[in-house]
Amino acid sequence: MHPNALLDSCSVLLKQVLKFEHPADMVVSRHFREQRLGPRERATVAETIYTVLRKKNLFTYLAQHGSGPTERRLAILGFAAERDFLLGALTEPEKDWLARCDQVKPADLMEPHRHNLPAWLVEPLKAQLGDDFWPLVDSLNAPAGLDLRVNTLKDKRSEIQKELAKAAIKTVVTPYSPWGLRMSTKPALNKLEAFTRGAIEVQDEGSQLLALLVDAKRGEMVVDFCAGAGGKTLALGASMRNTGRLYAFDTSGHRLDALKPRLARSGLSNVHPVAIAHERDDRIKRLAGKIDRVLIDAPCSGLGTLRRNPDLKWRQTPKAIEELVVKQTAILQSASRLLKPGGRLVYATCSVLREENEAIAEAFGVANKEFAPLETSSVLTHLGVEGAAKLCSGPYLRLWPYLHGTDGFFAAIWQKTAAA
């Protein structure tokens, strides 16, 4: 494709994405269905869009000093292909403007153009992280790698690593998860035999560790309370060695539908997807006091996933966070009623904000004395995770992209000590 046509495709798509009416990945997918682009062109367009979303403050500032449509200038700044290829699409004034942009030094920029965050998010993160604010920002503004979880019901991690190497896919074992492999590239996994037979699934190492914390055992009754498309459900089912009964609850039947093909590949027969109306659904009440382990990967702001979903920082608002906190509190309270005495409760998010994490856990602990908090570092150490203390802050799991190479995750664990 001619560079100008590719740049035009990026500009058209950016105009849609920057309305922030829908998640960026949905808008990009729809664009690709409507436009006939090859794999390389799709990769260039997608990465251009995500680069602009990551650095929107900076690029908007630089774009003010150029000419022509704003979306085209933003696409030029974020264009994810060789510079010589890009220059073939530019006018002489555009080339001059881009050369001036290249000379801007990060140290000379104002803070908003360096951190590329909405103003409302800056102070909470600075208050929480202090000097680590800028390392976090740098990590969030870089693309994420790709982690795989090996389905231990079917294969060993070492064998899958060898199999992928034969397909010219280099991986390293994840440093903490016993199930994970990390890739530096993003190959077409769905064409691999290991994928089609259910031996591997795409899952961030942090998400794998959340499932590990549940420590689901053979023959138990387990609930994944906010299962979504079921990444953690599949990991839990494998931990249970396909025995017992694993309920995958979610309020979205559409998300649960996305679990079905993954479930078929996985070889699991102990998983029972259940669409619920809300956290107080009668189907949940019928299981009260009968469940051994409950995982709540709560609906959250998703701000721990900005490496993959940079549009979230522009789509979220403080009011939306307040509404989520109410929902998270209600879900945790309702889900806790499922547990039998001695049962384990895990509350988790992929948020980096304290109000969605520690504040929720602390309030639950105060209101529910029959739930005793467990130290996540002790649980992970018991499960054989080396360096578990590095993953935790106080009693909680706290994963950060700049420290651990994962998305941002939080988890708290309790054990029910007596009948409520």
User: Mind spelling out the 3-state secondary structure of 349-377?
Assistant: ECCCCHHHCHHHHHHHHHHCCCEEEECHH
User: Mind spelling out the 3-state secondary structure of 68-90?
Assistant: CCHHHHHHHHHCCCCHHHHHCCC
Two tokens, residue 202: 């795409």
Sign of the torsion formed by the C-alpha atoms of 26, 30, 33 and 36: negative
Distance between CA atoms of 262 and 81, rounded to whole angstroms?
A: 33
Q: What residues contact residue 240 under an 8 Å CB cut-off, 6+ apart? A: 216, 217, 218, 219, 220, 222, 246, 270
Q: What residues contact residue 411 under an 8 Å CB cut-off, 6+ apart? A: 209, 210, 213, 346, 347, 348, 376, 396, 397
Contact (CB, 8 A) for 347 and 406: no
Catalytic residue among 10, 101, 300, 350: 350
Contact (CB, 8 A) for 23 and 53: no
Distance between CA atoms of 327 and 56, rounded to whole angstroms?
A: 30
Residue 8: phi and psi, rounded to 5, are -65, -40
Q: How many helices (H) and strands (E) does the chain have?
A: 21, 13
Alpha helices for 197-303 (secondary structure H): 205-214, 231-239, 253-266, 282-285
State the Cα angle at 96 between 95 and 100, rounded to 5°.
Answer: 115
Distance between CA atoms of 331 and 280, rounded to whole angstroms?
A: 8
For residue 10, indicate whether it is catalytic. no
Note the Cα 184 to chain centre separation in Å: 17
Q: Would you give the DSSP letter of residue 185?
A: S
Catalytic positions, please? 350
